[in-house]
Amino acid sequence: MPPTVLGQFEHQVLLAILRRGSESYSVEVVDELERHTGREVATSAVFVALQRLKAKELLDDRLVEPGDEGGHARRYFRLTDGALEAMRDSRQSFLSLWRGVESALDEPGA
C-alpha cells in the first residue's frame, strides 16, 4: 500500500489529537489547534478533516453516550497505527527539506 500523503491541516489535526493523549473529540481538537496556532480555526474545516482522515483509515472513532449529568453524545477520535506512520513520513519529508537551509530563518544581523 502506498504511503498516505497528509495535507498540512490534516497533519495539524492528527498532532492535536496526539497532544491531547489517547483520544479526543471535535471541540477539544478545535481548542487545541487554536491554542497552538493562535488563529481562529474554521470548525467546518476540522469536521471535514476528521471525516477525511477517518475515510483514509488514519482515525478510529466511537460514540460515547452522555452520562448521568446530561449533555450530548460525543464522537471520540483515536489515532490508528497508520496515522502515526503517515505523520512520521510527513515530518521526515519536512525535516529533510529544511536541512541545510535553516539559516534562512536566522534573524538578520543576529
Torsion of CA 7, 11, 47, 1, to 10 degrees: 70
**How many residues sit close enough to another protein to count as binding (CB under 8 A)?**
19
Q: What is the greatest pairwise CA distance in the chain?
A: 61
| Site membership for another protein, residue 4 (CB under 8 A) | no
| Site membership for another protein, residue 30 (CB under 8 A) | yes
Residue window 45-64: x/- pattern of binding to another protein, with contact defined by CB under 8 A: x-xx--xx------------
**Cβ proximity of 73 and 63 under 8 Å:** yes
Helix (H, G, I), strand (E, B) or coil at 77: strand
* Cell numbers given for 12: 495539524
Residue 44 or 103 with smaller CB distance to another protein: 44
Binding stretches for another protein (CB under 8 A): 25-27, 30-31, 40, 42-45, 47-48, 51-52, 71-75
